[in-house]
Amino acid sequence: MKNEKRRQLSFITYEAFQKIKKNDPLKIIFESLDWTFIYPLIKSKYVTKKELIYNPVDLFKAQLLIWLGEVKSNRKLAESLQFNSRYCVLCGFDSFLKTPAHSTFSYFRKRIGKDIYYKILHRLIAQVVVVAGINQININSNIVHIVTYSDKNKKKSCNCSGSSGRCKYNQKKRHFKDRTNVKVMTKNFVAFGFKVQMIINLNSQLPVEIIVKPKNKEILI
């Protein structure tokens, strides 16, 4: 009986996956990322494989939905995975009837530790930004300011520039420079032939600015 139920749910999942378009932005991003580095970082946190109720990669895919602005919280994320077949399938969950509760994400983060959680998340975000740039997928400037340097010349562009070409982020940064006391740190990554420099807000542990440049170029800020 259990096997029949699994096959039925697998078929439903397959049907939902078939409806997702090949150019779906989330599909492109998730299928392009390198997820293999995650397991070596967390394997010491699990004594046996039986403790892995949910695949850690699937949980991180779901967490990226929050960062990408698809949902606003773990509670909303849990609800969306249960009722939104696109999110459920793309994140890798096999059953619409057994998706993570919002507390699952909190427990997962606590289990692997805050440092490892953000170490993984930052590396994934670095990859996401590069993949999005290569595939011309827009990442909302309200989430993070992304500066991209051209491979052919010294020109740069960002994801918040309007028709005038002026950077709205830098205007805001200058306006609030003397009013804020936000501590930041810098992390550097290499992803898909690009250098990625990430400016991270130490309070939220999330990037406020990401600078992308071809690997053979220096990053200057």
User: What is the identity of the amino acid at 181?
Assistant: N
Residue 34: exposure state from Cβ atoms within 10 A (0-12, 13-18, ≥19):
exposed
Indicate the pTM of the whole model.
0.86
Transcribe 47-72 into DSSP letters.
Answer: SSGGG-SS-HHHHHHHHHHHHTTS-S
63 Cα distance to chain centroid? 7
163 contacts 98 by C-beta, under 8 angstroms: no
Beta bridge partners of 214: 194
Q: What is the pLDDT of residue 1?
A: 30
Q: Give whole-number Cα distances, 68 to 73, 172, 193, 209, in Å.
A: 11, 21, 22, 14
Q: What is the pLDDT of residue 12?
A: 64
Tallying the residues shown for the chain, one arrives at 221
Which ranges constitute the DSSP H helices of the chain?
2-18, 25-32, 38-42, 56-67, 74-83, 85-91, 102-112, 114-134, 168-176
159 contacts 174 by C-beta, under 8 angstroms: no
Residues of the chain with pLDDT under 70: 1-13, 48-52, 96, 152-154, 162-165, 171-180, 217-221
80 contacts 91 by C-beta, under 8 angstroms: no
Instruction: State both tokens at 20.
Output: 């997702």
Tens-place pLDDT, residues 126-156: 999 999 999 999 998 889 999 999 876 567 8
Q: What is the pLDDT of residue 18?
A: 79
| Distance in angstroms (rounded) separating the CA atoms of residues 206 and 7 | 39
* 138 three-state secondary structure: coil
